[in-house]
Structure 1
Amino acid sequence: MIKLSVNFKKIGRRLLRIIAFISILILCGYIFLYVKQERFFFNPKVLAKDYSYSFDQAFEEISIAVEDDVTLNALLFKTDSVSKGLILYFHGNAGAIHEWGERAYLYTENKFDVLFVDYRGYGKSDSFYEEESELYNDAQKVYDYALTRYKEEDIIILGFSLGTGFASYTASENNPKLLILEAPYYAWNEFIANVAPVPQSLINYEIPSYKFLENVKCPIHIFHGARDFLIKPEEHSKRLQELYPNKIDLSLIKGAGHNGIYFSKQYYDELKELLARY
């Protein structure tokens, strides 16, 4: 009996050590995420400054200064038809515009020019983000550039995934004629806390799309894959529409996942019909 008791004590001590070790690992993970979370949220493809873009259609490479020592790289694709205006495109969290630019035809075929911009640290753009305010500053500077070449009443803002928060902010601070959101999130910090085992309080970037949309004066159209298991439409797009039913039209793309919207005939047909109205 005495021997058995000693064994239980040993097992108990081992369990306590394991629990303590796991707790320390989790704590270290939280600290690392808090300090380096931008490296998790942003997944850029970095390109050499002398990288040469190649596409099946003509484009113009542009540099947009957002701070004295920070320039963002952008590509402007123009329609072969008489242009109805500009679509300002805020892309998702991965890759760079050498890949995102492959989608230009979706808009140029519908008589719109389209401007793709790489965020800081993406592609050939400078620097990297350290504060949420820098995201909004850059988005506004890009919009200001667009205003030097297009009338505001001819500008549509479009955001995909991560970019929907930037698009929503920009539309709330300006007067474009339409805001298009593809796979949007209700709020970035809430989304991250739901997909990763971290407290919401540790997420430095709020990016509250639901707040920005309150101040958007133009019509809003959302496209969301019905089978998007990353940013689930019922947790994000449907909640946004319920919050602003008089502003938002929602198109659920049947069978489409998070990155599969563009391959859907339903998406292309509905996008074409939407752009024809503007």
Structure 2
Amino acid sequence: MNLNVPKLFRRTLRVIAVLATLHVVILAVLYFKQEHFFFNPKVLDKNYVFEFEAPFEELNINVDDGISLNALLFKTEAPKGLIVYYHGNAGAIHDWGKRAPLYLENNYDILFVDYRGYGKSNGKYSNSKQLLDDAQKVYAFAKTRYKEEQIIVLGFSLGSGLATYVASKNNPKMLIINAPYYSWKTLISEQIAPPIPAFIVKYDIPTHTYIKNVTCPIKIFHGSRDFLVDVEENSKKLQALAPENIELTIIHDAGHNGIHITKQYYDALKELL
């Protein structure tokens, strides 16, 4: 039997080597193709015609040489101001725009913008700096049409970190973040896909760092049944950083994508806005 030990040992080593190689290959693919896994855009034809019941203006906001972000500005008759909405990692504004009535009913115009590669926006991302710079340029565009003290910044999921970054660099009336993450890198490497080492995630959006520099009032909404972005590890940790300026509302029995359809959120918005 001892004669078989070296043979078994060699087979074990080969299996380990194959698994190790496979692991490295998977990590390499994740690193170089992570936009494919982390972003899920819906691409729209450039001739796509938006249809909504509420009045809107279609815009293209220039953010870089040859790159513009497609946007929809929904308008109400007597606006109190503007909500700049940074949406989640999936879809496009043909779908996100369906949420406009929630905010129009509270007498706010609302601007939805597609990121690069989403909807009718062109270009693509290779790092988080581009995402953040684009978010700031969208806000700068908003200031050309509205007084800054009338602007509310709102971000959902992926957009929550962008919205917080913008609020930390400017002086909006309020910051609203729905289902936010404490850190995008931590969310991916420790909560959504724990086998992925943090160094593989090249998109670093540390909401917890930005939120410390936000001077306007901050309102967080998070579903109690959000199994994608855990409320304990994200929203509650964010609130603890500045409890005197951050109000957290837990939306009962709401999942990650269900906050906006609840009566609790509807009522809270009416009171807040």
TM-score of the pair, normalised by structure 1: 0.95
Tell me the secondary structure at the aligned position of residue 102 of structure 2. Answer: helix
Q: Give, as a single letter, the amino acid of the residue that structure 2 aligns with 1:5.
A: N
**Is 1:70 equivalent to 2:51 in the alignment?**
no
Which residue is 1:23 aligned to? 20
Q: 2: CA distance between counterparts of 1:154 and 1:223?
A: 21
Give the deviation of 1:11 after TM superposition. Answer: 3.5
C-alpha separation in 2, matches of 1:38 and 1:65: 22
| The one of 202, 205, 224 aligned to 1:204 | 202
Partner of 2:110: 114
Maintained 8 Å contact 2:251/2:264? yes
Whether 2:233 is the aligned partner of 1:235: answer: yes
- The range that moved more, 115-124 or 41-50, is 41-50
- Measured in 1, the distance between the counterparts of 2:261 and 2:14 equals 52
Is residue 159 of structure 1 aligned with residue 155 of structure 2? yes
C-alpha distance in structure 2 between counterparts of 1:102 and 1:15, whole Å:
56
> 1:12 Cα shift?
3.2
- The counterpart of 2:128, out of the listed 132, 141, 152, is 132
Q: Deviations over 1:129-163 (max 9, x none)?
A: 11221112111111111011111010000000000
Whole-Å Cα distance in 1 between the matches of residues 244 and 167 of structure 2?
Answer: 16
**Corresponding position of 2:88:** 92
CA RMSD of aligned residues (A): 1.1
Q: Tell me how far 1:243 sits from its aligned partner.
A: 1.1
Give 1:52 deviation, angstroms.
0.7
* AA aligned opposite 1:118: D
Distance in 2, matches of 1:271 and 1:6, equals: 75
- Deviation (angstroms), 1:7: 4.2
CA offset digits 1:80-131 (Å, max 9, x no partner): 4x11100000000000000000100110011100000000000000100112
| Per-residue CA distance 1:189-233 (angstroms, 9 max, x = gap) | 011101211111221111111111111110000000011111000
Which of residues 71, 76, 79 is equivalent to 2:76?
79
| Structure 2 unaligned spans of 5+ | none
**Residue of structure 1 aligned with 2:218, choices 204, 217, 220:** 220
For residues 92 and 169 of structure 2, the distance between their equivalents in structure 1, rounded to whole angstroms, comes to: 26
AA at the equivalent of 1:47: L
Q: Which amino acid aligns with 2:98?
A: E
User: 2: CA distance between counterparts of 1:107 and 1:14?
Assistant: 63
What is the CA-CA distance between 1:8 and the residue it aligns to? 4.4
**Counterpart of 2:259?**
261
Alignment TM-score, normalising by the size of structure 2: 0.96
How far off is 1:5 after superposition?
3.2
State whether residues 55 and 76 of structure 2, in contact with CA within 8 Å, keep that contact through their aligned partners in structure 1.
no
Q: Tell me how many residue pairs correspond in the alignment.
A: 271
Q: Which runs of 5+ in 1 are unaligned?
A: none
Structure 1 CA distance, aligned partners of 2:200 and 2:19?
19
Instruction: Give the Å deviation of 1:235.
Output: 0.1
Residues in 2 aligned to 1:11 and 1:270: alpha-carbon distance in whole angstroms: 65
Matched, 1:56 2:57: no
Task: Give me the whole-angstrom Cα distance separating, in 2, the residues matched to 1:132 and 1:227.
Answer: 28
Residues of 2 paired with 1:217 and 1:10: CA distance?
67
Give, in angstroms, the shift of residue 16 of structure 1.
2.3
Tell me which residue corresponds to 1:41. 38
- Tell me how far 1:18 sits from its aligned partner: 1.9
How far did residue 25 of structure 1 move?
A: 0.9
